[in-house]
Amino acid sequence: MLGYYFRLAINSFRRTPGLTLLMVGAIALGISTCIVTLTVYHAMSGNPIWWKNNVLYAVTMDAWDPSPADPYYSDHPERAPAQLSYRDAMYLYQSPIPGRKVIMTVLFGMLSGAPGESVPMQAQTQATTHDFFSMFDVPFEYGGSWDAAADNGPAPVIVLSKKTNDRLFGGADSVGQTVLWNGHRFRIVGVLDDWRPLPRFYDMTTSAWNDPQPVYVPFQWGPMLQAMPAGNSSCWGAKPVKTYQEFIGSECIWIEMWAELPTAQARARMQAYMNSYWASQHRAGRFMRPINNHLTKVSDWLRINGVVSSDSRILLRLAFAFLTVCLINTIGILLAKFLRAAPTAGLRRALGASRKQIFLQHLAEVATLSVAGATLGLALGAAGLTAVHALYASGGAYGELAHFDPLGIVWALALAAISTLAAGLYPAWTVGRLPPSLYLKSR
Amino acid sequence: MLKMQDVSKVYRTDLIETHALRNFSLEVKSGQFVAVSGPSGSGKTTFLNVAGLLETFDTGVYELDGADVSRLSDDARSRMRNEKIGFIFQSFNLIPDLDIYDNVDVPLRYRRMKAAERNTRITKALELVGLASRMKHMPSQLSGGQQQRVAIARAIAGDPALILADEPTGNLDSLMARQVMDLLEQINEMGTTIVLVTHDPELARRAQRNIHIVDGLVIDSAPPYERRSTTVSFSADATGSRAG
Amino acid sequence: MNIRPVVSALLRNRVGAILVALEVAIALAVLVNAAFIVGQRIAKIAEPTGLDQQDMFAIAMAGTTTDFDAQSSARDDIAYLRSMHGVVSAAPAGTIPLTGDGSNGELYLEPDQRGGSAVGSWLATDEQGLRTLGATLIAGRNFRASEIRHLARGDIDQAVPEVIVTQSMAHALFPGRNALGQVVYDRQNRPITIIGIVRDFVGQVGFGSPPYNVVILPQVPGAYGSYFCLVRTEPGRAEAILHLAERHLAASNATRVIFFAHTLDYYKAQLDSDDRNMAIFLVVVTALILAITCLGIFGLTTFNVSTRTKQIGTMRAVGARKRDVVSHFLLENAIIVGLGVLIGCTLALGVGYWLSMEYGLPRLDLYFLAIGVLILAVIGQLAAWQPARRAASVPPSVATRTV
């Protein structure tokens, strides 16, 4: 029976090729636009570590300038800055609260001494602690992280990103070999696999759409070499900061901290720890702003930092408006077609078709249209994403965006199939409802 | 076969009430060939629609092949139409973008027959009406008479108990009309009950009984007419205008 | 023109007419708001940077060793750049305009951070900086070579006794007054005199300082072991000279490497790219919506005409001229499109209002609404033009044919 219905559907399409093309084309265009926009939106607002969303927390305390004219965020004066000073970071990092913690900053780095690379390679360096890799589920191709003892040293150990390793060692297993980092000999303990969380949730103090840093060293190398941070660093206060020692003793903030707190109890303990530290420092004359200590999980962190641009949300709504227009178009055309075919439907009723069978026959036509439109839409969507990729790759803050997102695609296809079917339901149902005798009066 | 007792149907609009059928009673025995005639507006079409389960009626009883139709659901009525009744319309009502084979196929599809059985029935029906060689042609490639013969084939393909014909020759010239009537007689001789609705008294005379309707009421039937038998042969030429 | 048969024809297929009207309404709402947003983005891209970015480029240098002598390296590099053919001027810089690379800070009207303040980008450069930037002095004077401080490594927070500011910065600090010669204070309460005011140009972007607020400091950067070189070339030669310079400088000094090197045009394009992409996307989707709507009207009208040939034949048979048939269908379409435009106006205003509330966009300019209505009315009618004309060629004899 279904085969019969589909044969009738094809017949119907051939009767009005122009309109059929318009319907399929419109659906396809609507779906492909939604696919492109959804993918971009999803990629831009997605949580790259969603499986750990309830476990990872950004640790922030507010030791900023108490003068009300001088908030850190001028458009959100109540918000605490994203980074900590050296003093606060050290204290919090050394808290006895069980659970992994990580502190990090960015240092300027120059790599040299690798075989085959004559020219030194500059490399923004992530100076961080050993738990960085396990906390953020960073995959390793060779080797692994350094250990806590190396953090304390600090030991001259280094982890390379895949791209760096490809460039310096041709992609071979370089664990155990050494390179010169800022003139000092460092031993490679690990090489990362492909890893590109978008957005770069753990460090959004510079563009959230940049790649993770190409090399990693233990955090204490910064103080050890008295190397000023190369990322975002902000200071306030009247005390002059002229030397590195003064810098790390000042209120300048340049360190980000994350904590892994899997249970509510752990979170409560950490919060209490922060609060009591705040209280004692407040008594000593620091932390003059109202208490503003937070543990923020990743999804909230992304939202607070305004990572999803309003542009992409506007475009998403526009895409759905477009799909709506396409669907309305389709309903209108289907309605007209089915109503014109009503006499034939009436005839079939007279010859013994039940209302349900007429409805199914026309629904099959709608379903065929929807499948055709969805398939074409998928193809167009893939093409569209390639175009968007080219558009974004040529510039803009989003770098190499728009990898095909399977979840979004499934969603878009389901949306298209369901919405087209829903669109066709009304016309199909209307045809079946008409009394057969109405169209048979030949006089 | 067909038993109507005091059937009434009223059409109501905001302004007018039309009594299309008033206390209409009719009994047609199985195997009979009955004509229902009357002037325009007499209620013939309404009678046909009610008899063919295309419309409901307001009062009275209608039994078709022993079953009381007033209790039937829409689905059941559709099934009854499909299995028990064959329709022939004045304007043929073939589906223009299906070929002849598929047109005859339509009622069989709703009976969920297997393809082999459908094929047999369609072929037999088309052979009976003499158009088996034109199976793959489209309706637009046939003359009016040939199209009506296809419609007849469609009506009989499912072996219905009753055939309802609504002015089957209204759109045909006299030659084609004769062919169609001969075919109907042939079908009746094979045992199918036929009810023919027409305003043409000549046509009505070819039936065994003639029921006259005026204003929704039955005026008694004319006496049976001697039937003459005619040998019919159909040539398969393009215009189909030859007979005999 | 008798409107009643037209209205009754429409009422017979109410749902179909409403659907088309809805399409038109949505198309109008989209067209109006998208055009508005695109106009804004174009305006944003067209905002003057105050720089001749097409004739400028920047090279970022970084030392390869911890004892890298940034000062002498910068001196040599700048000297080389200044010597190149086609280079108008070159200067070291602590901030690359149009990028996030650099720093910003605050100036206060009174010591102890009181009395009001303004935030601006900090652009450290030497006495050729203004010339390289193409910044025009409108008051005061440029730095003298003797006033330029050269920072040694680790010299993080050196005092500067005088600065040059942009107009916007001056206005932010001293609205309505002359900022020239005024004394302001830095975070460490050190007094700073404003010795010059230049026409606005864009400094650092993306880190919280208003783009046209720039403070120019007489400093050659070197405290961090890295520095930028800003170069201004003769018109049209920036790209070529950049490549030449890159090649030479990469090889000339082993103690330092080129971090990156780009024309300022490149940075401007980066800045613009989000707005540009948004505008492109909006234009494409809006065009598609309009196309679909028009094709829908065209298709449906054609279809309806072919369905109603009997009615048309009857009209002609009772005396309607070809013109009357065309008018009938055009009027039908006009009513539907008109209804759609009406609904669309409300929708457009609603969407515009919502956009301004949700996303802080400015309120929709009614001018756009008027133009949008006009466009949609015209193309909506045009779409039905050909099918309506086709209707006129239906012969009157169709009225009597039954089969």
pLDDT tens digits along A66-121: 877 777 887 788 888 999 999 999 999 988 887 899 999 999 888 888 776 667 78
- Asked whether residue B213 is domain-assigned, the answer is yes
Mean pLDDT, range B220-237, rounded to an integer: 44
pLDDT of A438: 61
C159, two tokens: 């005092």
Is the pLDDT reported for residue A409 higher than 60?
Answer: yes
Strand partners, B218: B213
**Per-residue confidence at A433, pLDDT binned at 50, 70, 90?**
confident
Q: Which of A304, A328, A352 is the last residue of a domain?
A: A304
Between CA A298 and CA C345 the distance in angstroms is 41
User: Number of folded domains in chain A?
Assistant: 2
Q: Pick the residue from chain A with its C-alpha nearest to B80.
A: A352
Is the pLDDT reported for residue A129 higher than 80?
Answer: yes
Report in angstroms the alpha-carbon separations of C225 from A29, A108, A242, C65.
54, 9, 15, 9
Note whether A85 and A25 are same-domain residues: no
- Asked whether residue B68 is domain-assigned, the answer is no
- Between chains, do B154 and A11 touch, taking CB under 8 Å as contact? no
**Per-residue confidence at A44, pLDDT binned at 50, 70, 90?**
low
Domain that holds residue B214: 31-56+73-222
Note whether A275 and A361 are same-domain residues: no
pLDDT in tens, B95-108: 888 899 999 998 89
Cβ burial A261-276 (10 Å sphere, 16+ → b, else e): beeeebbebbbebbee
- Between chains, do B98 and A11 touch, taking CB under 8 Å as contact? yes
- Asked whether residue B67 is domain-assigned, the answer is no
C114-125 and B85-88 strand pairing:
unpaired
User: Is C175 buried (19+), middle (13-18) or exposed (0-12) by CB count in 10 A?
Assistant: exposed
Mean pLDDT, range A261-273, rounded to an integer: 91
Note whether A36 and A65 are same-domain residues: no
The CATH number that applies at residue B193 is 3.40.50.300
> How many other CB atoms are there within 10 angstroms of residue C181's CB atom?
10
- Asked whether residue B17 is domain-assigned, the answer is no
User: Is C233 buried (19+), middle (13-18) or exposed (0-12) by CB count in 10 A?
Assistant: buried
Cα distance from B94 to chain C (closest Cα, Å)?
11
User: Number of folded domains in chain B?
Assistant: 1
Cα-to-chain-centroid distance, residue C73: 38
pLDDT in tens, A354-380: 888 889 999 999 989 888 888 898 888
Note whether A352 and A218 are same-domain residues: no
pLDDT in tens, C268-299: 998 888 889 889 989 998 999 999 999 899 98
Contacts of A321 in chain C (CB under 8 A): 26, 29-30, 289
Is the pLDDT reported for residue B24 higher than 70?
Answer: yes
Strand partners, A306: none
pLDDT of C336: 93
Note whether A254 and A338 are same-domain residues: no
Nearest-CA neighbor of C101 among C121, C119, C120, C131?
C121
- Between chains, do B167 and A356 touch, taking CB under 8 Å as contact? no
> How many other CB atoms are there within 10 angstroms of residue A303's CB atom?
13
- Rounded to 10 degrees, the C-alpha dihedral C137/C138/C139/C140 comes to 10
- Whole-model pTM: value is 0.78
Mean pLDDT, range B57-61, rounded to an integer: 86
- Asked whether residue B145 is domain-assigned, the answer is yes
Note whether A266 and A295 are same-domain residues: yes
- Between chains, do A238 and C277 touch, taking CB under 8 Å as contact? no
Note whether A37 and A157 are same-domain residues: no
C156, two tokens: 């993080």
Mean pLDDT lowest among A391-400, C167-176, C223-232 = A391-400
Cβ atoms B241, B179 nearer than 8 A: no
Strand partners, A157: A187
pLDDT in tens, C189-213: 889 999 999 999 999 988 878 999 9
Note whether A246 and A169 are same-domain residues: yes
Q: Which of A276, A304, A332 is the last residue of a domain?
A: A304
**Is B41 in the A-facing interface, judged by CB distances under 8 Å?**
no
Q: Which of A304, A323, A340 is the last residue of a domain?
A: A304
Cβ atoms B21, B50 nearer than 8 A: yes
Nearest-CA neighbor of C6 among C327, C383, C391?
C327
Note whether A214 and A275 are same-domain residues: yes
Note whether A126 and A39 are same-domain residues: no
Is the pLDDT reported for residue A156 higher than 70?
Answer: yes
Residue A335: CA count within 13 A, CB half-sphere: 20
Between CA A230 and CA B128 the distance in angstroms is 96
pLDDT of C160: 85
Is the pLDDT reported for residue A401 higher than 60?
Answer: no
Nearest-CA neighbor of C237 among C65, C84, C46?
C84
In three-state secondary structure terms, A76 is coil
Mutate to test the interface with A, among C15, C112, C290 (most CBs of A within 10 A): C15
Q: Where are the beta strands (DSSP E) in C130-225?
A: 137-140, 149-150, 162-166, 183-185, 191-198, 214-220
Q: Where are the beta strands (DSSP E) in C199-316?
A: 214-220, 226-233, 256-263
pLDDT in tens, C71-116: 888 899 999 999 999 999 999 998 999 998 888 888 999 888 778 8
pLDDT in tens, B110-160: 887 888 999 999 999 999 998 999 889 999 999 888 999 999 999 999 889
Cβ burial B173-200 (10 Å sphere, 16+ → b, else e): eeebbbbbbbbbbbbbeeebbbbbbbbe
**Phi then psi dihedrals of residue C361, to 5 deg:** -75, 155
Residue type, A277: Y
Q: Pick the residue from chain C with its C-alpha nearest to B94.
A: C403
Q: Which chains lie within 8 Å of chain A at 3 or more CB pairs, if any?
A: B, C
**Phi then psi dihedrals of residue C91, to 5 deg:** -155, 150
**Range of A186-190, B185-189, C224-228, C324-328 with top mean pLDDT:** A186-190
Note whether A66 and A195 are same-domain residues: yes
Domain that holds residue A402: 2-48+309-439
Cα distance from B187 to chain C (closest Cα, Å)?
27
Mutate to test the interface with C, among A224, A242, A337, A380 (most CBs of C within 10 A): A242
Residue type, C396: P
- Asked whether residue B239 is domain-assigned, the answer is no
pLDDT in tens, A208-218: 878 899 999 99
C162-166 and C191-198 strand pairing:
parallel
Q: Pick the residue from chain A with its C-alpha nearest to C187.
A: A238
- Asked whether residue B195 is domain-assigned, the answer is yes
Cα distance from C395 to chain B (closest Cα, Å)?
21
User: Is C83 buried (19+), middle (13-18) or exposed (0-12) by CB count in 10 A?
Assistant: exposed
Q: What is the ipTM of this complex?
A: 0.80
**Per-residue confidence at B234, pLDDT binned at 50, 70, 90?**
very low
Is the pLDDT reported for residue C304 higher than 60?
Answer: yes
